[in-house]
Every structure is written in structure tokens, then in C-alpha cells.
Amino acid sequence: MKHDDGISNPSGNRPFTNVLEVNMQRRKVLAGGLAGAAMGFFSSPALAGMTDWEQTGNDTRLLGFTPVPLAEGKGPWPAISTDYDYQVLIPWGEPLEPGGPAYQWPPTAADQTRQIGIGHDGMWFFPMEDKGCRDDDDPAHWGRHQHGWRGGENRHGMLAINHEFGRSMHVYGKSAPERLEDVRISQHAHGVTVVEIQKTGRVWRTVQSDNARRIHVNTPVAFSGPVAGHALLATPNGNIPLGTVNNCANGHTPWGTYLTCEENFNGYFGARNAWSATDEQRRYGFSANGFGYGWHLFDRRFDLSDEDYRNEENRFGWVVEIDPFDATQTPIKRTALGRVKHEGVAIAEGRNKRVVAYMGDDERFDYLYKFVSEDNWKKMRREGKSPLDHGTLYVARFNDDGSGEWLALSIDNPVLAARFADQAEVLTFARIAADLLGATPMDRPEWTTVAPNGDVYCTLTNNSRRTTANGANPLAPNPDGHIIRWRDADQHVGTTFTWDIFLIAADTHGTEDSFASPDGLWADPDGRLFIQTDGGQKDGLNNQMLVADTRTGELRRIFTGVTGDEITGITVTPDRRTLFINIQHPGGGDPTVTNFPAERDDVTVPRDCTIVITRKDGGIIGS
């Protein structure tokens, strides 16, 4: 999303670096070419035993499609590779199920609780099968067994999708709320949608479902893990925990649940009366006006100056677990994963089946985190424990020599014990704990993704305010971003790693592969990396999705969106022959810029929507 103006980190964690030396290192990497960087980097003995694609004998060309030319990726309508087709699915305001309340302008708060939300972002497809069993040791097949349904796993499933931010109160209508109903429309358009979708013929549609639901800002939620029950989550008036907000990117677990991540939650709070921020509130960017949503004007929960609702803001900034196959489940905020501006969460299965979660905190000069469960996830679940409730949270320090360390955010560390009373405080104010440990301030960590060979990739979208480069953030300033890659010791559970820079966006400028501000990211099982952008592209190009061959560094543009949008969210059917992505805030909400997707003659406002992509010959997406 666009709210990237802040810097909340005053810690001065700026590892001393000789800028010249760093730039020399960078030139060396680039001189070796992307192929050299990609193939040569992870050759240390520590990584022996890991599978590398280049060792598998897979010399098939990964990118066979005709790219979208730079000159065609502009204007008010999407463009796609001539080898592919796309279909629009679930625009903002459509009913969750056939027969539900139809989209109308202006929306009503009541209808919006049974309609698709706005600001489509991260999502995941949970297939439903006719028969057979999944192998849940294979991450590509993580999911829930659902027997006896109407279609195959590649034609039928639950789609869980985030609704990051809503312009329904702003660009689409009033500049500020005038009554509580206005606030409720906005709140109900945020959160998560779970819908059941099915392919009939060549077309995907929503279908009747026992488990379709909306989770929004006023939906009851529960807390679990070390902070649950702590005074930091209690308000003086005792109101129960409600809602999730600014749901950005996502993850999914090996046991078949969806993870939604709360990012810029600070922007929804404001102060009606005199208020001054605590150190903790300041570190998370709270201000008297927030992002201008004005919820605090009519909903006391979001008024920082209302003493009855003290601590309400501590209830946001978490990773939330949702069961896409049980609409009665209460969404659970998993506090062991820390409270930051969570972009997303990429789950890996580490050594001895420990669950590992990689997470970016998207703000200039903020950090990368990793959570490791204390034990084998299957064993923990058999014992009735959530693997996401018990474990260790770490923050990353990148050394300029290509090594790195994961620093444990534990109250057992005397440095943290001197500042915090207990582990719940450490987790609730994870950013401050990370400052104290000397984590490396990054150029806005967005999505992370774990490739099957063990490499982890993370987009560092941009940082126009960096004045001092370091190895991991080699440009100062860095207006166009880069992608970093690392590999952890000990199959994701170790406390050290090695890293390199995979791509620097500015190096593509002036070429056909031009892109800037990488954001969404997904590594497929073959060695492709799907890269989505959110920010000013060069030469009038719209935001886009490219595919990289991680073995060679080759890049091709597969899709471009519409003026004023961003491209985000990515998930596939198990056979990878259908891919879902999202167009967020098309035209910036301005119907004079675009009326995409304009599925109805009476609707002219551009609407956020999902895009379903297939290859014309039925092939694997990206090939």
C-alpha cells in the first residue's frame, strides 16, 4: 500500500560500513552476472545435503512465454502475454455467494459484511478434492482433505483473501466520515474474505458455501500464545477483542489454515482530544490523525485519547490464523510471532518438522524476523499445542561479508530484561526489542518466499531516505528497491545464514525488463520466482508481474495492470495451471482514470478484483 512516508525507527542501528567497499562488492556481484551470483553463491559445505536445482539435471528452459513488451504495459486496461488469458473474479462489493446482496453504490455497512471486501491483497487457494489423499510432507500439496465434493482439486476450492485498505470512504466517496455508518462501511470492507470458488467450463465463479464468510474490523477474535491474557491486551472498560485490519500479505500452514498479516494498523487510530504518544506508540508510528480514515471520530475504540480504550492499539499488528473450512472458527492472533507491521509470513518446514515463519516488517529501516516452533509440528498438534504458540522469535542481522545471524528476542537476554518485564512485553514491542539487539535496518521488507531448494527471497521495495549503504542495502538512496536472498543453517532452524543480493531493480532500467518497487513474491517448485510490483515504474509502465529464472537471472514480464493500481497476491491450483493474482486500487479509485473491470454497465468506479490467469495451451503458469 502507499502509506510509506514514515520512519519509526530512531534506534540508530546503522552498522558502520565503508560505502566504497560495499559498492565494490556489489559491482563484483553484478560483474559475475546474475547467473554467476545465483549458481555460485550457496556452495558452502554447510549447505551440503540441500537440493540445488542445477544438480537435478533440470535443464529445461523455465521461461518459454512471449513477454508483454514495455510499450504495451500502459493505460487503463491490463495487458497479458500473448500466450496467456485472464478472467476477472470477485470484484469488491460482489456477494460472497450467489443470491447475496449485490454491489451497489454507495454501499451499506450491513451489505458489506456479506460482500467481497476492498483492497485485495495476499490470498491462498485451499483445494477441495474428490478423492485421494494429499501428501502433507510436500509444501506444494499442503491442504485439507475434503472428500466427496463436486469437483476436482484444480477446479474447486476455498479462496481466502486479504482486504488491505479501503478507499470507500475516500477516493470513492466522502473525504471523511460524517456518521458512524460511514465508519462501519469502511471497517466492514477491510479484513478477510473466504469464498468457495469453482470452475465450470472455462469460467471460475463463487458458489453456495457453508464456509464462505467475512472477517472484518468488528468480528470477534481471540489471542493465543505468550501475550494472551496479559494486561497489555486488556482495556479499562473490558471490551472484548474485535477485528483485524490492514491485512496485507499472507501465509498458510502445513495443517491447512490461512495466515493473514496486519500491516499498517497504526493508521486507523487517531486522537479526538489532547494526547501524546508513549515511546512504544511512537515506535509504531501512531499519530493524532493517522492516515485520515477518521474512524476515531465515531468509534471510541480507535481514539487514542480515550482512556476507556487504553491498550486497544496493542490488539493489532499480529499474524492471525483462520480456518478456511470452518466459518464458525474464531480467528486467532498468534502472539508468539511478535507485533510489528507484518507484511506477510512465509512458512517453511525446518529440520525435524519444526515450523519456521519468515516475516518482513514493512517500514523504512525496519527488520526481518523469523519464528521457529519449539518442536515437530505434528507432535505438537497431537499434544494439543499450536506450533505457532510455542517457539522462538528472532530478528536478522546482516553482516557485510555475506554472513548473518538470527538474534533471539527473549526475555532471557539481559539486554531485554533490563527494558521489559516479561516475554509478553518483548513480543508486543518487538520492534523496540529488535532495536536493542542491533538488528539490521532494511529498505522496507515486504514479501518473503521460500524456494524448494531452501533459499529464502525477500523484496526490499525501496527506501528513498537511506543515506548510508550497507551490504544488504547497497544503495543510498534506494528509490527502486532490490531482492535479497539467504539460506539458513541447519535447514531453516539455525541461528546463522549466508546471503546475497539477487536483483537490483535499478539495473533493469533502460531495458525491456524494466521494473521498480518489487513487493509480492512467490517461488514455484521449478525455480521460477514470480515478482509483483507496487510503486512508480519507469517509462509510464503500469505495475506488473514478472517471472525470473533463479538459475540464470533471466526475467520476463507476464502481466501488467491498469493505471494507478498495484499488482499483489499470488496463489495457484495444485497443478499450477491456474494462477490467481490481484489488482489493488485500480485508477487510485478515480473513474476518470479507468473504470476497470466494468463488468456491469451501471458501475463506473474502478474496483479491486482478482485476476485468474491460464496458459492458452493449458501449460504450467510461468512456462
Quote the least distance from Cβ 291 to ligand FEO, whole Å. 12
Dihedral, CA of residue 407, residue 411, residue 414 and residue 418, to nearest 10? 120
Dihedral, CA of residue 459, residue 463, residue 466 and residue 472, to nearest 10? 10
Quote the least distance from Cβ 131 to Ca ion, whole Å. 38
Residue 368 binds ligand FEO, judged by CB under 6 A: no
Q: Which of 519, 524, 565, 608 binds Ca ion (CB under 5 A)?
A: 519
Q: Which of 313, 343, 488, 524 binds ligand FEO (CB under 6 A)?
A: 343
Three-state SS across 93-140? CCECCCCCCCCCCCCCHHHHCCECCCCEEEEEEEECCCCCCCCCCCHH
Nearer to ligand FEO by C-beta: 262 or 549?
262
Residue with cell 496467456: 84
Nearer to ligand FEO by C-beta: 34 or 567?
567
Residue 534 binds Ca ion, judged by CB under 5 A: yes
Please spell the DSSP secondary structure of 607-622, one letter per residue. --EEEEEEETT---TT
Quote the least distance from Cβ 584 to Ca ion, whole Å. 6
Quote the least distance from Cβ 164 to Ca ion, whole Å. 5
Nearer to ligand FEO by C-beta: 446 or 488?
446
Residue with cell 477485528: 243
Q: Which of 446, 455, 480, 526 binds ligand FEO (CB under 6 A)?
A: 446
**Distance, CA of 229 to CA of 77 (rounded, Å):** 49
Q: For 317, how many CA atoms within 13 A lie in the half-sphere containing its CB?
A: 28
Would you give the binding string for ligand FEO spanning residues 107-146, x where CB under 6 A is met? ----------------------------------------
Q: Please, are residues 445 and 354 in contact by the beta-carbon 8 Å criterion?
A: no
Dihedral, CA of residue 45, residue 46, residue 49 and residue 54, to nearest 10? -70
Please spell the DSSP secondary structure of 346-385, one letter per residue. EEEE-GGGEEEEEEEB-SEEE-EEEEEEEEEHHHHHHTT-
Total residues at interface with Ca ion (CB under 5 A): 5
Nearer to Ca ion by C-beta: 162 or 498?
162
Residues of span 31-70 touching ligand FEO by CB under 6 A: none
Partner interacting with residue 425 (select from Ca ion, ligand FEO, none; CB below 5-8 Å by kind):
none
Quote the least distance from Cβ 315 to Ca ion, whole Å. 22
Nearer to Ca ion by C-beta: 312 or 361?
361
Residue 608 binds ligand FEO, judged by CB under 6 A: no
Residue with cell 517453511: 348
Quote the least distance from Cβ 458 to ligand FEO, whole Å. 12
- 254 by Cβ neighbours in 10 Å (0-12 / 13-18 / 19+) ranks as buried
Provide, for the chain, the percentages of residues in helix, strand and coil under a 3-state DSSP scheme, each rounded to the nearest 5: 20, 30, 50
Residue 1 binds Ca ion, judged by CB under 5 A: yes
Residue 361 binds ligand FEO, judged by CB under 6 A: no
For residue 391 the three cell numbers come to 517457539
Partner interacting with residue 192 (select from ligand FEO, Ca ion, none; CB below 5-8 Å by kind):
none
**Please, where are the H alpha helices in 556-617?**
none
Which of 308, 301, 272 lies closest to 289 in space, CA to CA? 272
**Distance, CA of 361 to CA of 376 (rounded, Å):** 26
Quote the least distance from Cβ 381 to Ca ion, whole Å. 31
Residues of span 431-470 touching Ca ion by CB under 5 A: 446, 461
Partner interacting with residue 304 (select from Ca ion, ligand FEO, none; CB below 5-8 Å by kind):
none
* Burial 124-142, CB ≥16 within 10 A → b, else e: bbbbbbeeeebebeeeeeb
Partner interacting with residue 565 (select from Ca ion, ligand FEO, none; CB below 5-8 Å by kind):
none
Residue 1 binds ligand FEO, judged by CB under 6 A: yes
Dihedral, CA of residue 39, residue 43, residue 46 and residue 52, to nearest 10? 40
Quote the least distance from Cβ 167 to Ca ion, whole Å. 12
* β-bridge partners, 218: none
Quote the least distance from Cβ 285 to Ca ion, whole Å. 16
Q: Given its phi and psi angles, is residue 91 left (phi above 0), alpha (psi -120 to 50 degrees) or beta? A: beta
Computed on alpha carbons and rounded to an integer, the radius of gyration of the chain in Å comes to 23
Nearer to ligand FEO by C-beta: 466 or 551?
466
* Burial 278-291, CB ≥16 within 10 A → b, else e: eebbebbbbbbebb
Nearer to ligand FEO by C-beta: 143 or 520?
520
Quote the least distance from Cβ 163 to ligand FEO, whole Å. 11
**Distance, CA of 395 to CA of 369 (rounded, Å):** 4
Which helix (H) or strand (E) segment is 25 a member of? helix 19-31
Would you give the binding string for ligand FEO spanning residues 245-274, x where CB under 6 A is met? ---x--------------x-----------
Residue 570 binds Ca ion, judged by CB under 5 A: no
Quote the least distance from Cβ 570 to ligand FEO, whole Å. 14
Quote the least distance from Cβ 447 to ligand FEO, whole Å. 8
Nearer to Ca ion by C-beta: 120 or 397?
120
Q: Which of 153, 164, 303, 312 binds ligand FEO (CB under 6 A)?
A: 164
Total residues at interface with ligand FEO (CB under 6 A): 7
Nearer to Ca ion by C-beta: 90 or 128?
90
Which residues contact Ca ion (rule: CB under 5 A)? 1, 446, 461, 519, 534
Q: Which residues bind ligand FEO (CB under 6 A)?
A: 1, 164, 248, 263, 343, 362, 446
